[in-house]
Amino acid sequence: MELKQLQYFMAICDELHFSRAAEKMGVSAPNVSQQIRRLEEELGVLLFDRLGKTIVLTDAGAILQEHGAAVFQHLQQASHAIADLKQMQGGSLSIGVLPGDADLMFNSLLLDFHQAYPTISLSLLETMKVTEQVCDRSIDVGVTIGPVTDERLTSIPLFHEEFSLAVSKNDPLASENFIPLNRLHDLKMVTFPPDHQCRKLIDRFCMDKGFDIQPHMVTTTLSSLLHMVQSGVGACVLPRLLLDNLHNTDIKVVHLRNPTPSQDICLIYRSDRYIGYAMRTFIKSLKAYIETAIRHSKSS
C-alpha cells in the first residue's frame, strides 16, 4: 500500500465521487480509479460498492477509512512537532567535552545559551572518549582536540588554542611579555593532574624540549588553580583565551615562546545524523561565543 493510494482513497471517502475526488487531488479520474483498483487487488477486498453513479463504503472500506484517518493525523502531528522545533518550541542536545573543558570553556556559554533559548535542553558530559561516544550515538556532538579523521564524522574547526603562563601580579615574571618554554623547568608550578588533557599537552611540549615539570601543587579544579596563582603559590600554564577573558587584575599573563604550546579544537558529529534546530542553534551560538572571546583576547 502506497501513501498516494491512501490519499486517493481518503479523498473518495470525503467526496463519495471519483471525479470530484480526482479534481480535489489534481489528477485524472481514470488515474484515481486505477489506483483504487490496485489497492483493492492488493488487499483482496472491495473498498466501495458502486451503485450506478453512487458509491458507498464497504465494511472493509470503513475499516481502512478509520485507520487511514489515524495515519494522516499522526503525520500532521509529526509535521507540527517538527515545525514547533524549528520555531524554538523545544529540542534537546547532549554535548561531550574533554575533562576540564566544562570549566575552561562552557560555563558562561551554557548560561548565555539557556537565557537565549530556554526551551532547548542541554546536557553536558565530561568524557575522555568524546570521539567514541559521538560515533556510538551516546552523545549528539563533541568538542575535542583536532584533527579528527574518522570518516563517520563531520568535523568543524573552532579555533587554534594557544597556552600561556599565568602568574601573580606580584611575581617577578609579571613584568615580562614572554619567556621561552624551557624557563618552566625552574619555576614553582601548580598544575592539573597528569591525566588531565591540558597537563598532557604541556608535558608533551616540555618533554620535546628535554625536561619535565615537577609541580609544587596539583589540583583537579580550575578555580583552585587560579586561586593559588593569584595567591602567589605558583605559576600555571592555561589556555590563553581563558586567561585573557578572566579580567582578573591580580593575575598576569606571560606568553610562552620557542615553542608556544598549542592545539586545534574542533566540533564533531555523525555525518549521517539529521541536524535539528537544537544542534544548529548550539553550533551557531558556540561559534559566536568563541569569536567574541577571541576579539576580547586580542583587545586585552
pLDDT at 155: 96
pLDDT band at 83 (very low <50, low <70, confident <90, very high): low
pLDDT above 60 (res 89): no
Q: Is the pTM of this model over 0.85?
A: no
pLDDT at 162: 93
SS3 92: strand
- Return the closest-CA partner of residue 206 out of 157, 155, 171, 165: 165
pLDDT above 60 (res 88): no
pLDDT above 80 (res 78): no
pLDDT at 166: 96
Between CA 98 and CA 196 the distance in angstroms is 9
Answer yes or no: are the C-beta atoms of 254 and 178 closer than 8 Å.
yes
Mean pLDDT of 133-142: 94
pLDDT band at 164 (very low <50, low <70, confident <90, very high): very high
CB-based burial label for 66 (10 Å; 0-12, 13-18, 19+) = exposed
Block residue for cell numbers 579528527: 148
pLDDT at 90: 61
Between CA 196 and CA 243 the distance in angstroms is 18
- Return the closest-CA partner of residue 229 out of 256, 212, 249: 249
